[in-house]
Amino acid sequence: MATPGHDRVERRLAAILAADVAGYSRLTGQDEEGTHARLQDHLRSLVDPKIAEHRGRVVKNTGDGLPAEFNSVVDAVRCAVDLQRGMAERNADEPEERRIEFRIGINVADVMLDRGDIFGDGVNVAVRLEALAEPGGICVSASVREYAQHQVNINFEYAGEQPLKNIVSPVRIYRVRFDPAGKKGRAPTFLQKQDEPVPPRLSILVLPFANLNNDPKQEHLADGITDDLITDLAQWPNSFVIARSTAFSYKGRAVDAKQIGRELRVRYILEGSVRRSGKRLRVGVQLIDVESGTPLWADRFDRDLSELLEMQDEITGRIDLALHYNLTDAESRRCRARGSNDPEAIDLEFRGQAALYKPSSKATHAEARTFFESHSRSTTEAQELGLVSR
């Protein structure tokens, strides 16, 4: 049986702007009628016209704030900046204790529309972001920053990955930095930008594997292999593997490795494809170094469907070796550039490379990894002995 009212619910992707007045209770405690009158004037003269100008829609008025909906993320961000600049101008002659200042949060998400109102976790995230914004400031989610960073003349300051009340997963947050005056012919006076953290050494995103059969009935095979690889890689010690929900948000999208690396703070991307022919399965895989945008390793696996689990073990084993080799090789290049004269470290590197190219098996994987890990320990000891510069 259908849920009552279900036929009236519409879903769509939207940018949600949530705004409220910072310190509203304090302001009304000082002057209830005056605060109400000034706020209504700001809404009537600035807020409502700006939202309409940027093709947005005020969903409802909550007394001291409002949620608004936009079809475009860029429009929502531009509107927020215009609102804060407009409020800064209107507050210029007001005593600080009487100023009405908005805090704004913006998120982009799939929302439910019912009787003109919007619902869903995406709306809740926007409200939580607004609560984290400074008076006169704007906080956005990472997805908003991804859409808007090259379209709007502002800067984004990374504020960390933070848990939000009643939201299942932590959200990566950015503060918008802009010139409050917004004067033309003058570069924005950005505040100092906080450096984003360096990605962990073993950080990886597994993109949803492509189904080359173009048969929706085979989609489960590609998705299943992707799921299993995410699970297997997440079990590595000291690894950082992007969660399935985030990984699958890129399904079917053209992606730029360097941009994803910056957005998700990963060093590596694993992508692949699956093609089924009868009971045979062909899986192509490549591991991409995000910094350079080039493949570190690529291979193709042909197996019977009954050997699917063994093939997945082999793929993760080869990725394991490719990552360890890449990290070790990078360290070796640094050592050689600094004039290393430690023959043991060089010997271990060459022996690891030789094992890497033997026919793939668990035994050769273990052999190569042992050499690479021994090489790393030897390099560290050489640094301590002064054979290699730090």
Q: What is the CATH number of the domain that holds 346?
A: 3.40.50.10070
Residue 273 lies in a domain: yes
Structural domain count of the chain: 2
At 65 the pLDDT is 85
Residue 196 lies in a domain: no
Residue 335 has pLDDT above 50, yes or no: no
Residue 204 has pLDDT above 80, yes or no: yes
At 82 the pLDDT is 94
Residue 30 lies in a domain: yes
At 382 the pLDDT is 40
Over residues 210-264, the pLDDT tens digits come to 999 878 888 888 888 888 888 878 777 667 888 887 888 888 887 788 878 877 7
Same domain for 173 and 216? no
> Crossing angle of helices 308-337/343-356, nearest 10°?
150
Residues 6+ apart with CB under 8 A from 270: 204, 205, 206, 207, 229, 233, 285, 286, 287, 288, 319
Residue 1 lies in a domain: no
Same domain for 245 and 139? no
CATH number at residue 16: 3.30.70.1230
Over residues 337-386, the pLDDT tens digits come to 444 455 555 555 555 555 554 555 556 556 555 655 555 555 444 443 33
Half-sphere exposure of 288 (CA within 13 A, CB side): 20
Residue 184 lies in a domain: no
Same domain for 66 and 171? yes
Percentage of the chain exceeding pLDDT 70: 73
Q: Record the pTM.
A: 0.50
Q: Let me know: does 71 contact 15? Beta carbons within 8 Å.
A: yes
Given CA atoms 183, 187, 191, 195 in this order, what sign does their dihedral have?
A: positive
What are the beta bridge partners of residue 282? Answer: 275, 302
Report d(CA 218, CA 311) in Å as an integer.
18
Which of 129, 160, 177 is the last residue in one of the domains? 177
Same domain for 341 and 207? yes
Report d(CA 93, CA 72) in Å as an integer.
34
Same domain for 350 and 212? yes
Same domain for 139 and 247? no
Over residues 301-312, the pLDDT tens digits come to 888 888 877 877
What are the beta bridge partners of residue 157? Answer: 175
Q: Which domain holds residue 132?
A: 8-177
Q: Let me know: does 124 contact 158? Beta carbons within 8 Å.
A: no
Same domain for 104 and 65? yes
Same domain for 219 and 141? no
Across 69-78, average pLDDT: 93
Mean pLDDT of the chain: 77
Same domain for 376 and 231? yes
At 237 the pLDDT is 67
What are the beta bridge partners of residue 117? Answer: 114
Across 291-318, average pLDDT: 79
Residue 390 has pLDDT above 70, yes or no: no
| pLDDT higher at 5 or 300 | 300
Report d(CA 76, CA 74) in Å as an integer.
5
Across 183-199, average pLDDT: 42
Residues 6+ apart with CB under 8 A from 282: 274, 275, 276, 300, 301, 302
Same domain for 211 and 171? no
Which of 139, 162, 177 is the last residue in one of the domains? 177
Same domain for 215 and 329? yes
For 390, the 3-state DSSP assignment is coil
Element holding 309 (H helix, E strand): helix 308-337
At 8 the pLDDT is 59
Residue 198 lies in a domain: no
Same domain for 373 and 228? yes
Across 3-27, average pLDDT: 80
At 303 the pLDDT is 83
Report d(CA 275, CA 287) in Å as an integer.
19
